Amino acid sequence: MRSNYDKFPEVPVAGYEADCLAGWESIGAVLLARAGSAGGKAVIVVECYHGVNDSELIPALKAALRPALFIDARQAYLSEAAIDALTFPDVTDDRIFGYMTRLDISRFFEPARLEEARRQLDRLESGIALVYGTGAAFLSRQWSLLAFADMARWEIQLRMRRGEVANLGAGNYGQDFARQYKRAYFVDWRVCDRIKRQWLPQADYLLDTNQPGRPKMISGQALFAGLAQTACRPFRVAPFFDPGPWGGQWMKETCGLDPSEPNYAWCFDCVPEENSLLLGFGRHRVEIPAQNLVFFQPRALLGGPVYSRFGPEFPIRFDFLDTMGGGNLSLQVHPLTEYIQEHFGMHYTQDESYYLLEAGEGSHVYLGLKTGISPDEMIRELEAAQQGGEPFDADKFVEKWPVKKHDHVLIPAGTVHCSGKDCMVLEISATPYIFTFKLWDWGRLGLDGRPRPINIEHGKKVIQWDRQAEWTRWNLINRIEAAGSGDGWREEKTGLHELEFIETRRHWFTKTTPHHTGGGVNVLNLVEGREAVVESPTGAFSPFVVHYAETFIVPAEVGEYTIRPWGESEGKTCATIKAYVRT
């Protein structure tokens, strides 16, 4: 069956259809006109998120603006060695894990160089001064015009893999991707997000340079109008897909992906810290990090209780794990809250669950431990396997459960688990996804040809050894309870476990089904049926059509909404799975 999965969901921004400019010539002309430098001095600041392509932006801006003075913020940074020393306590020497930094951009500047750059600005009497780079706004302190060059997280990662991006204040182009990514995750992006939250609301313009050679620019007013409109209606973020050593084939057909690729393992379908939000301005589409919406519309999006608990963070994650025709995921465990706080500076952990969108014959998940196993023996055998001994016998220590389509398996932190082959998992979890302690990876190499990192030392300190077969059976496997019904619909409570802060509800429906955000953000996926439509009983937003396997977000501000079969699914049974934060 043909795919109807929308890989480029767009939120149209009403009232600003003509606001977007495309191409450096048009962008430069507007910046130049706005600067108003004729006969006087004008300071144009272009603040940059990590990952912006300097080799494109700097020549294009210089050609358009013809500045009398150009200052690259990096010229006032500390030396690379000093920045390495500054960031090391947060980056650490671990290949995967670090500590969420408390640094801000002011710490990256060398005081004497910073003052000299500021003196150069003060000495300029006429013409345009162009101040560019990460920290440009901090360096300049005041300006005639501020433009913010933003960058999508996924695009940054792709550029890292191609050797096009270095870490903040570093020259490590082409370094091992895992190490670059880790430093960006724990340091660079935290520093840049602090800059963004301070200066983006003051920006005259936002620059989208995610597509090389195809820049776009919108006004700050249009950007914030787009965010405000998005926070009052259902929407989707732009998904992205990635291969893996255990990846499968299901997403290729269902999501309309390149069939020539060997596999697709992951899809991030609702991870606002990683995904992009696509805003439509007439015939142009502007890509921004979805995290901008969380930063600048937190109450409307998350709701007061969720915002007060988590701050400007989106606490629910939906993603796909495809092992259909692939292999087992790595055997793993997630840290307890106390452990993740103490070791990594996160205030909540990755509780999760597996919802089975599809399952092959004989498919299974590993979950919990076998009754009566010896923890010491299990750790000894894991360590021996990692050191090149006999392969670890997971079936000896970990309970294996058969699964079928629409099963829901709950995985509170501290529970040993992994999906087996021939499963299509919709993973519903809390958001700090990077904190996975792999215990065993079935002797595989990563796609880079290197052994994948194993974290037995961390893992053995958080495994909950009492979560054995009977406890797992009664607490974590298909805890389905009736929760309500009406004309043409029924609601089921499917979890999550009482130790987890996410509640999930499944609705089966052939007719209009009532929903309410209850003052908190809702995240849903259409797990059965080709199409459904989300509507406002009061007409507060336009009807929003979703397709099979698409994840969508309903902001807290929406309140009451309905879902019913649509198009190809009219007269047929559909189902959604909904997640929200328990309050």
Render pLDDT for 507-546 as a digit per residue (tens, 0 to 9): 999 999 999 999 999 999 999 999 999 999 999 999 999 9
The span from the CA of 469 to the CA of 480, in Å, is: 19
The more confident residue out of 496 and 72 is 72
pTM assigned to the model: 0.95
Confidence class for position 555, pLDDT limits 50, 70, 90: very high
Q: Is the pLDDT of residue 485 over 70?
A: yes
Which is it for strands 41-48 and 127-133: parallel, antiparallel or unpaired?
Answer: parallel
Q: What is the pLDDT of residue 43?
A: 95
Could you give the CA distance from residue 254 to residue 53 in angstroms, rounded to a whole number?
34
Q: What is the largest CA-CA distance in the chain?
A: 84
Q: What percent of the chain has pLDDT over 90?
A: 85
For residue 184, report the phi and psi dihedrals to the nearest 5 degrees.
-65, -45
User: What was the pLDDT predicted at 394?
Assistant: 96
Residue 48: what pLDDT? 98
**pLDDT (average), residues 564-574:** 97
State the burial class of residue 487 (Cβ atoms within 10 Å of its Cβ: 0-12, 13-18, 19+): exposed
pLDDT at 444: 82
Task: Note the pLDDT tens digit of each residue in 216-237.
Answer: 999 999 999 999 999 999 999 9
> Of 303, 75, 274, 100, nearest to 186 (Cα)?
100
Among 107-116, 215-224, 240-249, which stretch is predicted with the lowest mean pLDDT?
240-249
Query: What confidence tens digit (pLDDT) does each residue in 375-393 have?
Result: 999 999 999 988 888 999 9
Q: Is the pLDDT of residue 49 over 80?
A: yes
Q: Model confidence at 499, in pLDDT bands (50, 70, 90)?
A: confident
Give yes or no for residue 496 having a pLDDT over 80. Answer: no
Q: Is the pLDDT of residue 473 over 70?
A: yes
Bridge partners of 366, per DSSP, are 400, 418
Task: Write down the pLDDT at residue 115.
Answer: 98
* pLDDT tens digits, one per residue of 132-188: 999 999 999 999 999 999 999 999 999 999 999 999 999 999 888 889 999 999 999
pLDDT above 80 (res 45): yes
Percent of the chain with pLDDT over 70: 97
Angle at 333 between CA 316 and CA 249, to 5 degrees: 70
Q: What is the pLDDT of residues 297-344, one digit of tens each?
A: 999 999 999 999 999 999 999 999 999 999 999 999 998 878 888 877
CB atoms inside a 10 Å sphere around CB 470:
11
Mean pLDDT of the chain: 94
pLDDT of residue 343: 79
The 10s digit of each residue's pLDDT in 411-457 is: 998 999 999 999 999 999 886 556 788 999 988 866 666 666 788 99
What is the structure's pLDDT at 178? 87
CB count in 10 Å sphere of residue 459: 23
Go through the domains of the chain in sequence order and give each one's CATH number: 10-230 (3.40.50.300), 240-266+320-476 (2.60.120.10), 481-581 (2.60.120.10)
For residue 206, cis peptide bond before it (omega within 30 degrees of 0): no
CA distances from residue 519 to 505, 512, 560 in whole angstroms, order as listed: 16, 21, 10
Picking from 344, 356, 294, the residue whose alpha carbon sits closest to that of residue 553 is: 294
Parallel/antiparallel/unpaired status of strands 21-22 and 437-440: unpaired
Q: Are 144 and 36 in contact (CB under 8 A)?
A: yes
